[in-house]
Structure 1
Amino acid sequence: MRSGAGERDGTDMWEVALPERPLQVPGVQMAGFRDRGVVPIDLRVIPQPAVSLALEFGAGMPFVEQDGGWQLRGSIVAGLGAGASGAVRVRGGSYEGVQVRLSPLVARAALGVSPAELDGAVFGLEELWGREASRIREWLDNASTWEQRFALTDALLARRIAEGPAVDAEVGWAWRRIVASQGVVKVEGLATEVGWSRKRLWARFQAQIGLPPKRAADLVRFDHAVHRLTAGEPATLVAAESGYADQSHLHRDIVARTGATPVTVVGDPWLEVDDVAWSD
């Protein structure tokens, strides 16, 4: 099992476990997190082009604070781009959990609702799954290894995705085109490429993916750029190669999406652990 850690002031904060075996369904990633208890948890949630599940277990139960006060405890679902403007933070005591990132292409089938219904917000998993949310928590808590927890989560998601609705092939193609271009794509041409009218593609794409194509491309572009900055690449180069007009444009986008300056964001533990947990 591979593992790694995010750092704050040089101190390892997290134990991170990754599956040793391939998962059953493309578009699903997962990692196990256990905080080391060095400092209290206080994490800014950075928007990302995925729908996230945080399946918590164990004795500790940190809370998600959204919109300056509304708090959620237990397992949660975060919609596409959740955390905009720095509105979502994770705070509290110790944490153990399996975190899952779902491509929008499989999120609707896995969750039972369209990503558009999540509207970039955070919800308790019980609101979507009912008693099944409690059962998965019990299963994860009773499992003795990370690999067992990954296998349980993988089997659950594979079943739900197999039973749920698939996105339109044209919508899937457009999303993959946006991701492959790292968000730098002329979205106006996507409808022509799939042979649909612009109105039809935009409506189906937003309903099934959760954002219209232009906003989806901008989110993918931001995600790619902020990870390059975290890796230490110069902002001028990142802006030029990521489709921004200039460095100031990149700066404004990061502030608007995270509520913080680029210097603050690239040192954030959320991103420092990101490439360990979600590396290709």
Structure 2
Amino acid sequence: MVNFGAPVRLAQAVAEQPIWTPYRSLVSGLRTSSTLGEHGGKVCGVEVILTPWMAFRLLGMPMHAIKEIAVPVPEILGTDGRVLEEQLTAAADWRARFALLDALLLRRCALGPTPAPQVIAAWTELSRQDGLVPLARLAQDAGWSARHLELRFREQIGLSPKKVARVFRLRRALPLVAALHPGSEIAATCGFYDQAHFNSEFKAMAGCTPSQFAVHRGLTVAVRPVDRLPGQLTSTLIPGLLKE
């Protein structure tokens, strides 16, 4: 993300005392917990959403180096990042900005490392099955040992297959929680051992209970949509942070 206005501030949703860090631009690795975001009421910028294995190719670095954190773009891309911030902010219109982004992404893609087809296939299967795929089957399909699959995932995805599966299970559960489905039903549908396991995992990853999330999501829908991906529930407005 490259922001053209005042910096946005981020903090970990699961922290007892959130520590807010301002960013003009950032690269965010994969996370197993939610992030709080705060701004002054208006955000203008560009966000590029990449599959983790494509981020591995474009950034040219092991993805586990940025797991669970956000890093300013220049710290990752160096001169490319500093120039990108300046050029995107100064560009005359959105067509010019997209052209600048396309040029940078295509150039870095051509120079970056090639992700393993086995990693792409395993990620795709985990996504398609909402995380409900045994690790042993993923390793067998890849023709690798479970340990080797985990190592390649950490390099090219950032998280282990087991942690990626946790994220996909939670992603599947979020719209069911927002729609007020019973916890026992969600647990069974999304691959949790039982409702207690689901509640524990949800709070550990989202920073709130399922019922609190449902309330926050209801406020979000009532005020304005904030989801960043079409067809996916990605965000809520949190009471206390909401400023009209």
What is the TM-score when the length of structure 2 is the normalising length? 0.79
Structure 2 Cα separation of the partners of residues 200 and 61 of structure 1: 40
Q: Unaligned stretches of 5+ in structure 1? A: 1-53
Change in Cα spacing, 1:272 to 1:250, as seen in structure 2 (3 Å) is farther
Among 1, 4, 23, the residue aligned to 1:73: 23
Question: What residue number does 2:38 align with?
Answer: 91
Aligned to 2:47, what secondary structure does the other structure show? strand
Structure 2 Cα separation of the partners of residues 272 and 247 of structure 1: 29
Contact 1:57 1:141 in 2 (8 A): yes
Cα displacement (A) at 1:188? 1.7
The residue type equivalent to 2:208 in the other structure is A
Among 104, 125, 144, the residue aligned to 1:177: 125
Higher RCO (CA-CA < 8 Å; seq separation 6+): 1
- Please show how residues 49-64 of structure 1 align to structure 2 within 5 Å: 54-58=1-5, 60-64=6-10
Question: What residue number does 2:237 align with?
Answer: none
Question: What residue number does 1:138 align with?
Answer: 86
Structure having the higher strand fraction is 1
1:273 aligns with 2:219: no
What is the TM-score when the length of structure 1 is the normalising length? 0.70
Q: How many pairs align?
A: 221
- Please show how residues 9-48 of structure 1 align to structure 2 within 5 Å: none
Question: What residue number does 2:112 align with?
Answer: 164
1:188 aligns with 2:136: yes
Contact 1:104 1:210 in 2 (8 A): yes
Structure 2 Cα separation of the partners of residues 144 and 240 of structure 1: 52
Contact 2:7 2:23 in 1 (8 A): yes
Structure 2 Cα separation of the partners of residues 228 and 136 of structure 1: 39
Change in Cα spacing, 1:225 to 1:57, as seen in structure 2 (3 Å) is same
Structure 1 Cα separation of the partners of residues 62 and 176 of structure 2: 30
Q: Unaligned stretches of 5+ in structure 2? A: 233-244
Structure having the higher helix fraction is 2
Among 148, 159, 163, the residue aligned to 1:215: 163
Aligned to 1:95, what secondary structure does the other structure show? coil
Q: Which runs of 4+ in 1 moved over 4 A?
A: 268-272
Contact 1:75 1:133 in 2 (8 A): no
Contact 2:73 2:82 in 1 (8 A): no
Contact 1:61 1:92 in 2 (8 A): yes
Cα displacement (A) at 1:222? 1.0
Question: What residue number does 1:4 align with?
Answer: none
